Structure 1
Amino acid sequence: MKASLYEGNQTFSVIEKELEAPAKGEVRIKVAYCGVCGTDVHIYHGMMDKRVNIPITIGHEMSGTVDAIGEDVKGFAVGEKITVRPLDNRGETASDKGHSHIAKALKFIGIDSPGAMQQYWNVPAFTLHKLKEETDLKLAALIEPLSVACHDVRMSKLKKEEVAIVLGGGPIGLLVAMVAKSKGARVIISEVNDARIKMAEGMGFEVVNPINTDLVAYVDQQTEGGLADVVFEVAGVQASLDVMTEVAGIRGRIVMVAIHGEKKPVDLFKFFWKELELIGARVYEKEDYEESIQLITDNNYNFDKIITGTKPLDEIQQIFEDIDKNPTGMKFLVDCQ
């Protein structure tokens, strides 16, 4: 079998290795596609060299089929379509209060242990989710990031006919917008990149470029002063933190989707004045995966338009170089077979 290895110094190699039998409690997957996540790009740029065990096979946004089944594994059959929820919560303790997806000792498969950018991948069976036979395996590589969006929207308690503002129209922002739309909300995306604006508009979304249009004034006018019921901060920049408290209406809910690695200024007075609510949302839980799988299987939201390009595993180095050259791209996939 072939497997990719991140070697450090913005370098991937592709090696030949022996196929391994799944251990007790594991399933061997024939990997179909693996998406490149923003975290994978951070790894490529050396930003996580202190965390990952170099050399390592990375990747966690994947789809595939069951290839072999280890001892003590029940409920799966060879050839079944599956995807992996790449969270290893075996270090969970009572102090995590039952929230295994954010357990203090949580390990992320594909970062803290080998991932899916290889032809065959052995994983703990408890991470698997079955797909329906009609599920498109190429689109199924979007299930993991879409599950992030499902979790964000579920945490927001978004309801039908509410107004949702998505700050940032990148891959996750667009997926959040799709899930919010599936709930019957009115969705407005704030994005400054012309290519992403065009893509979102082509998918039927209402988009505002805050460089050209005052976002708060626009939403105020559109809602007769009510402003937004829910704001998703996805862009991860100071400008979004500044506007999120302005564009939220009375008792609005703000969901922090972006990862802010450093402390940032936030207008806390607005939380007092409008009784705003700030909600943290990290990764996903089982129910978010199941919702994501159904959305991908139904495919009512043109998910294929999010896929910018696909290249074979042998060209993994080129994939990451292409991503660097195309900052407006959305989702790149590795064809692992």
Structure 2
Amino acid sequence: MKAALYEGNQTFRIQSVDPVTPGPDEIRLNVAYVGICGTDTHIYHGAMDARVKPPQVIGHEMSGTVAELGSNVEGFAIGDPVVVRPLDNRAETAADRGHSHICRDLKFIGIDSPGAFQNSWTVPAFAVHKAPQGVDLQLAALTEPLAVACHDVRLGEVQSGELAVVIGGGPIGMLVAMVARAAGARVILSEVNQNRLSFARELGFEAVSPIETDLAELCRERSDGAGADIVFEVSGAKAAAASMTDVLAIRGRIVVVAIYPQPVELNLFQFFWKELKLCGARVYEPEDYEQALQLIAEKALPLDKMITRVEPLDQIQAAFENLDSSPNAMKILIDCQS
């Protein structure tokens, strides 16, 4: 079979390898499609070489079918459509308080161990979720990022009729906006990139640039002077973190989705004055995967519009180069069986 090995220095090499026979508690999958995500591009730029240890196959936003079952695996059949929730929590301890998805020694499959950019992928059975029969495997490849959005909206306790602001219109921000709208929220998306603004408007969102529009004033206009009920900070921009409290109503809520590697300034007076709440949201739990798969099966969201294009596995180098030079793309999928 073929596998795409990340070798460091922004380079992938296609290599013939043998499929890995599954152990007793593992499943071997025929990989259909794999999405390129922000973490993959960080790896491509060499930012995670110490963790990835090239040469290694990476990738984790996948869909596929069951090819071979380990001797202890039950509940799956050959040919079942599946996706992988790429979290390995086997080092979890009592100190993690049962929150296995963010346990201290969590390993990420596709980063800390081989990933999905290959024809066949062997993974622990506990990481595999059945997808609905007949599901479009291209859409199913969006399950992982969609589960992120489901987790964010669930932790944000979004209620029907609330005014939600999503700051950042990249792939995750766009999915958060979709899931929040599906939960009944009225959504305003804030983004500085004009192409992403246009894309959001095509999806029916009220989308504005904070450079051109006073976001706090707009939220008050849309809420009889109160402000937004909830803000999802997905941009990772210091300016967004500094100003996100301004748009909120009394007892408003903030969900921090973006990764901030360095401390940033927050208006703590606003937290005191309005009794605001701040919540972090990291990856997902099994129930978020199940909700994402249900949304895909119901065709409840315009997910097909998120797929910018599909490239064959042997063109993965060009796909990463094109994504690097074209930040307007939403989601590029790699076809691992073409």
Normalising by structure 2, report the TM-score. Answer: 0.99
Corresponding residue for residue 236 of structure 2? 236
Alignment of 1:1-337 (within 5 A): 1-337=1-337
Alpha-carbon distance, 1:19 to partner: 2.1
- CA distance, structure 1, for counterparts of residue 70 and residue 270 of structure 2: 55
What's the CA shift string for 1:206-239, capped at 9, x where partnerless? 1111111111111111211110111000000012
| Contact map agreement 2:19 2:121 (CA 8 A) in 1 | no
Alpha-carbon distance, 1:243 to partner: 2.0
- CA distance, structure 1, for counterparts of residue 300 and residue 263 of structure 2: 39
- CA distance, structure 2, for counterparts of residue 208 and residue 223 of structure 1: 16
- CA distance, structure 1, for counterparts of residue 269 and residue 307 of structure 2: 41
Report the 3-state secondary structure (helix = DSSP H, G, I; strand = E; otherwise coil) of the residue aligned with 2:207.
strand
- CA distance, structure 2, for counterparts of residue 12 and residue 321 of structure 1: 11
What amino acid sits opposite 1:222 in the alignment?
Answer: R
| Contact map agreement 2:149 2:176 (CA 8 A) in 1 | yes
- CA distance, structure 2, for counterparts of residue 19 and residue 102 of structure 1: 30
What's the CA shift string for 1:229-278, capped at 9, x where partnerless? 11000000012112211001100010000000011111111111110000
- CA distance, structure 2, for counterparts of residue 111 and residue 296 of structure 1: 26
What stretches of structure 2 of length at least 5 have no aligned partner?
Answer: none
- CA distance, structure 1, for counterparts of residue 289 and residue 253 of structure 2: 23
Report the 3-state secondary structure (helix = DSSP H, G, I; strand = E; otherwise coil) of the residue aligned with 2:51.
coil
Runs (4+) of structure 1 exceeding 4 A deviation are none
What amino acid sits opposite 2:63 in the alignment?
Answer: S
Alpha-carbon distance, 1:134 to partner: 2.4
- CA distance, structure 2, for counterparts of residue 140 and residue 334 of structure 1: 13
- CA distance, structure 2, for counterparts of residue 336 and residue 173 of structure 1: 27
Report the 3-state secondary structure (helix = DSSP H, G, I; strand = E; otherwise coil) of the residue aligned with 1:261.
coil
What's the CA shift string for 1:99-134, capped at 9, x where partnerless? 000000110000000000000000000101001112
- CA distance, structure 1, for counterparts of residue 141 and residue 326 of structure 2: 20
Report the 3-state secondary structure (helix = DSSP H, G, I; strand = E; otherwise coil) of the residue aligned with 1:51.
helix
Sequence identity, in percent? 58
Alpha-carbon distance, 1:40 to partner: 0.3
Alpha-carbon distance, 1:175 to partner: 0.2
Alpha-carbon distance, 1:50 to partner: 1.2
- CA distance, structure 2, for counterparts of residue 92 and residue 99 of structure 1: 9
- CA distance, structure 2, for counterparts of residue 298 and residue 52 of structure 1: 36
| Contact map agreement 2:5 2:57 (CA 8 A) in 1 | yes
Alpha-carbon distance, 1:20 to partner: 2.4
- CA distance, structure 2, for counterparts of residue 134 and residue 176 of structure 1: 25
- CA distance, structure 1, for counterparts of residue 121 and residue 51 of structure 2: 21
- CA distance, structure 2, for counterparts of residue 273 and residue 215 of structure 1: 20
What's the CA shift string for 1:269-320, capped at 9, x where partnerless? 1111110000010000010000000111112221011111110000110010
- CA distance, structure 1, for counterparts of residue 44 and residue 3 of structure 2: 16
What amino acid sits opposite 2:223 in the alignment?
Answer: T
Deviates more, 1:82-91 or 1:221-230: 221-230
What amino acid sits opposite 1:208 in the alignment?
Answer: V
- CA distance, structure 2, for counterparts of residue 133 and residue 219 of structure 1: 42
What amino acid sits opposite 2:121 in the alignment?
Answer: W
